Amino acid sequence: MSAQGLKTLFSTSAMYAVANLLQRGMMLILLPIYARHFSKAEFGAMDMLYQGILVLIIVSSFGMPQGLPRGIHQEKATEEDGRRLLGVLTLFILPVTAITFALIWSFSDPIAEILFNEQGEGLWVRLGAAFFVAMVIQQYPLQIFKAYQRSLQYSLWSIGTFLIATACNLYFIVVMDMGLVGMLMANTIGFGVTGVIAFVSCLKFMKFNFDWHRLRPLLEFGLPMLPALLGRKILEASDRYMLPQYHSMDTLGEYVMGAKVANIVEVMVLVPFLFAWQPFFYSVANRADAKNIFARVTLYFLGVSAMVFMGMYILHGSVLDFIGNGDYSASSVVVQILVLAALLNGIQYTISPGIHIKNKLVQESSIMIAAAFLNIGLNFLLIPPYGAQGAAISTLISYLIYLICTFSLSQICYPVSYHWRRMAQVLVTAMAFMAMIYWVDNILLQLCLLFVFILLGPVLDLYMNERDVLNTVWQKLRRKTAKGSY
């Protein structure tokens, strides 16, 4: 790939990353408002409904919208074929969405009794069904923009959704004080308004028809992905549905708060990294030094992960006090465990390029499904006696096993010689500094220790083992400084 091609690839990925960060970041921005205006039960129910909506979107569409790039750009496909494909897909998705909405609305009260263990309201489920429809209508045009590589439109519509939904949340929750009901109404309006307008703008890409055979390439792509997608959602969210069965909705609310604070790591570190990482490792896969590049990235990511974990450990109490208005101190241990789980998931990203390069995705999906079933079993074992902390430990163990199995598969199909000695040095140094941070009961001293670790850990490692990299960076900084002085 040419330098210009790489530049285009990374700039496009960056635009998608910003758009997705805004959508994920909306929850983080609004968390302090939710915590102050929701009961703990409402806070927990909010996440149950949201996670359930995401699963419904995947299942009801059979994963077909995610296969649009393949269907539209398949060999010998004409522009007319693309329009007819979108037309028949639309005629499939809209009725299925309407039927799903009608069923949920009709059985909302018994669904609420089961989901919330008689600690919630049927109205929450009905409004959740409306939010589901709004999300389908909003997400579908975005998938079309991605398929046609319209990254600017994708980003603008995502930003529009973010702004409208945020404004509606502020009005219904802060001004009207409507709690969870207000949040569901606000997001339904925000996603629905932008979704309808974006959908209308996409009509030019569609030609309605009933050629159902055109959906075959989308089904061939989407159906094999469904088990893995559902497995990941089970791994991420099954504990939300099990906690109310053994404990109160307040316990679920405390767990969800811990998960949302830990999610800062995903939003600020993992999502941007993943958007840049996947295009990057494909772009260097054919280079002679590709495996060495992957090994170095894993080493660097491990060092960054150690810094992030220490930083979150030091600051998580202050973050919880700010976001949770001092009412969620019980979430402290949950945050620490789930941050570690998130970082293990991030390391899994760095060691899995070989699986993608060698097209072993079916095997990886099997590992994900196995990890999901393991997570369910651990939830049954740990949630009854340990509540929210048991759910967090279950998630951590599941991600650790997933990482180990993914690493084993990757090494079988695409062996990489990792820098084990240097990785061990980083880990040992990190554990030593973590022990000191744990015993020091002063946040300023803890931050000083973190700063010293950064100097003695990753930076010292680079100085001792890759001085050429530091010299290159230093020379670039000197040249920029020299230019700026004129």
Domain range list for the chain: 1-224, 247-468
- CA dihedral sign of residues 267, 272, 275, 280: negative
Instruction: Report pLDDT for 6.
Output: 44
- Nearest-angstrom CA–CA distance, 438 and 308: 15
**What is the token pair recorded at 5?**
């091609």
Residues in the chain with pLDDT values less than 50 = 1-6, 9, 75, 485-486
Instruction: Report pLDDT for 25.
Output: 64
Mean pLDDT estimate for the chain: 87
Q: What is the CA radius of gyration of the chain?
A: 24
- Ordered alpha helix ranges (H), 206-270: 216-246, 249-265
Contacts of 481 by beta carbon, 8 Å cutoff, 6+ apart: none
Instruction: Report pLDDT for 486.
Output: 47
- How many other CB atoms are there within 10 angstroms of residue 100's CB atom? 18
- Amino acid 32 reads P
Contacts 24+ apart (CB under 8 A), 338-341: 338/258, 338/259, 338/262, 338/392, 338/395, 338/396, 339/262, 339/265, 339/308, 339/309, 339/312, 339/313, 340/309, 340/396, 341/262, 341/392, 341/395, 341/396, 341/399, 341/400
- Amino acid 202 reads C
Instruction: Report pLDDT for 474.
Output: 65
The three-point CA angle 457-459-461 to 5° equals 65
Instruction: Report pLDDT for 229.
Output: 84
Reported pTM: 0.86
Whether 60 and 133 have beta carbons less than 8 Å apart is answered as: no
Instruction: Report pLDDT for 324.
Output: 85
CA-wise closest residue to 249 among 130, 376, 387: 387
Helix (H) or strand (E) holding 37: helix 3-37
- Nearest-angstrom CA–CA distance, 295 and 303: 13
